Amino acid sequence: MAEAHPGNAHPAIGGIKLCFGGNVFGWTLNRDQSFEILDAFYEAGGRMVDSAEGYSSWIPGNKGGESETIIGEWMELRGVRKDMLIATKTGMGGPPYALKPEKVAAAIEGSLERLRTDYVDIYYAHRDDKTTPLDEVISGYDDLVKAGKARELGASNYTAERLGAITKLADRMGMTPFTVLQPKFNLVWRHEFEGALQDLCIARGIAVLPYYGLASAFLSGKFRKPEDLEGTSRGGGAREFAENGGWAMLPVLDQIAAETGATPAQVALAWLRTQPAVAAPVASASRKEQLADLIGSARLELDAAQVERLTREFSPAV
């Protein structure tokens, strides 16, 4: 969802309150189902979609790029490219030398072709590439901005040490730094972001769009006991969150959901938006009723006491 936000330092984000996670396109949703969800998201005011060249290569018979292809065809057929903010990535899995300038240049051309556009709003390094010198990573990404192929640059899954190093070096080189971060962060998975990485984002004004906002659907409340995790497409991914203090968090989510007239999923996403440096969560849906949860989350405002309870009650198991 979006709202006017004059003076925002991130033209590719603006006042976005929710980013739709496009990993489901070509995975849990086929082309027609994806179009139905995208239409509903757009009609409800949704304007930002996140993808990657690697989505959804983990499905037998897929090679990657399926998500971008669906998004691109939808935007072209609906004539909505100018309305949408599109983010995508290269370097999924962190293979060696994935962020060499020549590979990045080739990768974005493939993404642009599949997305049927001549630019993306955010272009991420999907994983840190410790084999390519940082100055080469910086220059390769800076070239994309200079060529008008990317409006902003982002890092996903970077540590505070590495994000700090690459942003400082970009400053010294006089080149475009990473101004967006996409970490794994939610109500029951905080250790990768809170602390030094969050402090760095606050200090530098880096906008944070965390993924796994609903902890693989665990924070929607659909899983209530360990047996519920068996035999579902999300169950395997949800297990690590359930076992990291997630079971104990569900009653608190339920209480605040009852107080606000919202759902547990809406409360979990609304909590994310209150966290320092976070611009908007990334979350996905495979059904219209799940999409309604996401849309409702963008309208929900928790009070300070509710935020404090959710923050305080987390007791990680690790």
pLDDT digit string, tens, across residues 197-219: 999 999 999 999 999 999 999 99
Q: pLDDT of 89-143, one tens digit each?
A: 999 999 999 999 999 999 999 999 999 999 999 999 999 999 999 999 999 999 9
Alpha-carbon gap, residue 95 to 225, rounded angstroms: 37
Q: pLDDT of 163-204, one tens digit each?
A: 999 999 999 999 999 999 999 999 999 999 999 999 999 999
Q: Confidence class of residue 4 from pLDDT cuts 50, 70 and 90? A: very low
Tokens matching residue 203:
């200090």
- Average of per-residue pLDDT across 32-51: 97
Q: pLDDT of 235-277, one tens digit each?
A: 778 999 999 999 999 999 999 999 999 999 999 999 999 999 9
At the top level of CATH, the class of 19-182 is alpha beta
Q: Confidence class of residue 5 from pLDDT cuts 50, 70 and 90? A: very low
Query: Greater confidence, 233 or 15?
Result: 15
CA 11, 115, 167, 180 dihedral sign is positive
Tokens matching residue 84:
């949408």
Alpha-carbon gap, residue 272 to 277, rounded angstroms: 10
| Sheet strand arrangement including 207-208 | 207-208, 180-182, 150-156, 120-125, 85-90, 48-50, 19-21, 282-283
Q: Which pTM does this prediction carry?
A: 0.94
pLDDT of residue 9: 60
Percent of the chain residues past pLDDT 90, beyond the cut: 90
Name the 3-class secondary structure at 19: strand
Q: pLDDT of 13-39, one tens digit each?
A: 878 999 999 999 999 999 999 999 999
Q: Where are the domains of the chain?
A: 19-182
Q: Where is 116: in which H helix or E strand?
A: none
